[in-house]
Structure 1
Amino acid sequence: MEADQSRLLFLLFLFTWRLSPEVAAEVQESSDGSAASQKPVSLTDVPATMEFIAAAEVAVIGFFQDLEVPAVSLFHSMVQKFQDVSFGISTDSEVLAHYNITGNTISLFRLVDNEKLALESKDIESIDATKLSRFIEINSLHLVTEYNPVVLFILVDSGVQANGKAISFFKLKESQLPALAIYRTLDEAWDTLAIAEVSVEHVQNFCDGFLQGKRLRENHESEEKTPKVEL
């Protein structure tokens, strides 16, 4: 039973790595300068759309037959939120036919595993910013390159701006890094452990405790609710 459960686990090592002041300034300047003007790329034919998808690690395309539906403006708002994702939009009938689009659809193309995921018309009719954001965020996460049948290990560098989503998901602050985080897809349970040193013993004990139902995070949350007293 434990073997089956462990195959559904993701173990992440989150650490801090600081950019040099010069590089950090360039990254910030680039980000600030492009954010305000960033828009979905208009895809007007099949070759351009295929090239757009092939060139992006993660591409999100809004295939719309009707640009007056509320989901269109919602789609545009996502462009500013996910600046590490390539966004495109198309109303061209040949493009929609090529991708078998029969209604308004938002599709996510992931290059690393050639995966295509879509929100169909029935989903889009009731979509809101939270649901669309979650769809993009979850499905655009970087996948590991090596697979271990016991646990999937992922290294997360907090110095990379795009990785901030993973850090915030586990409610960790920079002062708490480096840390281990574990996530089980079966029931979306997760836990974290701040560590000063990574060792086989620390990782093994953390994983074993999680599988046995011991949640350090629950203890941390109860501590946070207790008023802090200055010494």
Structure 2
Amino acid sequence: MLFPLLFPLLLSTASATETVDSAPLRLGDLKAAEAFIDSAEVVVVGFFESEESRGYKELLDSTKRVTTVPGAICMDKEVWAELGVSSDTIAIFRKADNSQENLVLSEAKKVDADGLVNFLTINEVRYVTEYNQVTAVGLFNSEVKVHLLLMVNRGTKEFTQLKEQLAALAPEFTGKLLFVLINGAVKSNLRSLGYFGLTSGDLPRVGIYDGGSDMKWLLPQGPVSSERVRSFCHAFLKGELKAEKQAGAQAKSEL
């Protein structure tokens, strides 16, 4: 496998690259709820009967700690029904894969702020998600099993430019591919590069990993342009890469 499927549940928050107001909004109707869900790449909504409900105070605490994920509260049962919620639930909404991840509180054995911080951070999948042990859990739990991988060394002149290029391209493939950034300058990511027959000195490169078939392909060497990456993605979706030789075919077969 390209990445391990199981990781320890880490209680530390992901490092924030941007911050938002962590005080949850009150959503009084469907229009407000839809506008809030559409306001950011990842949001969390607590659907509670009242402020005394199990998990209410813990959600407030966790959203103050995970400042990259905007939070809101909804007590309107009509909105619940429209969003597929029938009991007290904490739900994460993601644009990258059109996903709604529900934590039904009546089914949770334990509800505390640390656990909710963990729930938020492992499910914080974005249009471009930087791979690490925390984000890997959310990536592999997603129903979208195909990953477009940008493998590049942080600190190089290409890093920011290529990340921005992919961030602009990713919405075109919502629900079809997840865009993942692998920092080749991190020692723990060398194993992932090796799966493609690459080292950090070979970067930047772009690949596709299909978690359903455990197959992978590399975009041929050359400029990493939006046009080439877009064509590469469409070639995969059309099935045109299936017959091509897999990336890293001559590399060791076990990680």
Q: TM-score, normalised by structure 1?
A: 0.53
Identical positions, percent: 24
In the TM superposition, residue 61 of structure 1 has moved relative to its aligned partner by 0.3
Note the C-alpha offset of 1:134.
Answer: 2.2
> Matched residue of 1:60: which SS?
strand
Query: Which residue does the alignment assign to 2:58?
Result: 74
Query: Is the 8 Å Cα contact of residues 40 and 76 (structure 1) preserved in structure 2?
Result: yes
User: Which structure has the greater CA radius of gyration?
Assistant: 1
SS at match of 1:181: helix
Match of 2:27 in 1: 43
Cα 1:62/1:199, change in 2 over 3 Å:
closer
TM-score, L = length of structure 2 = 0.48
**Is the CA contact (8 Å cut-off) linking 1:66 and 1:104 kept in structure 2?**
no
Question: What is the identity, as a one-letter code, of the residue corresponding to 2:38?
Answer: A
Unaligned runs of 5+ in 1: 11-26, 161-169, 185-193, 214-231
Alpha-carbon separation, structure 2, partners of 1:40 and 1:74: 12
2:254 to 206, 212, 218: 212
- Residue in 2 that maps onto 1:15: none
Unaligned runs of 5+ in 2: 6-15, 130-144, 161-181, 193-198, 206-217, 219-246
SS, match of residue 84 in structure 2: coil
Which one is further off, 132-141 or 40-49? Answer: 132-141
Q: CA deviation at 1:127?
A: 2.2
| Equivalent position to 1:129, from 113, 117, 122 | 113
Distance 1:81 1:63 in 2: 19
In the other structure, the counterpart of 2:213 is: none
Specify the alignment match of 1:106 in structure 2: 90
CA-to-partner distance for each residue in 1:36-74, whole Å, 9 max, x for gaps? Answer: xx3011111110001111121101100011321341111
Are 2:46 and 2:74, in contact at CA under 8 Å, matched by a contact in 1? yes
C-alpha contact (below 8 Å) 1:40/1:87 kept by paired residues: yes
Q: Give 4+ residue runs of structure 1 displaced > 3 Å after superposition.
A: 149-152, 154-160, 176-180, 194-200
Q: 1:68 and 1:79 mapped to 2: Cα distance?
A: 17
Shift of 1:113: 1.9
Mapped pair 1:56 → 2:45? no
Q: Distance in 2 between matches of 1:123 and 1:84?
A: 26
- The Cα offsets for residues 175-205 of structure 1, whole Å up to 9 and x where unpaired, read as x945561688xxxxxxxxx9566488xx988
Q: 2:149 aligns with which of 123, 148, 153?
A: 153
- AA paired with 1:212? E
Task: Answer whether contact 1:180 1:195 (CA < 8 A) is retained.
Answer: no
CA distance in 1, matches of 2:54, 2:148: 39
Amino acid at match of 2:149: F
Moved more, 97-106 or 53-62: 97-106
Structure 1 residue 104: deviation in Å? Answer: 0.6
Q: Which residue of 1 aligns with 2:103?
A: 119
The one-character-per-residue Cα deviations of 1:134-153 (angstroms, maximum 9, x if unpaired) are 221121133559xxx99752
The answer to whether the 8 Å contact 2:23/2:60 transfers is yes
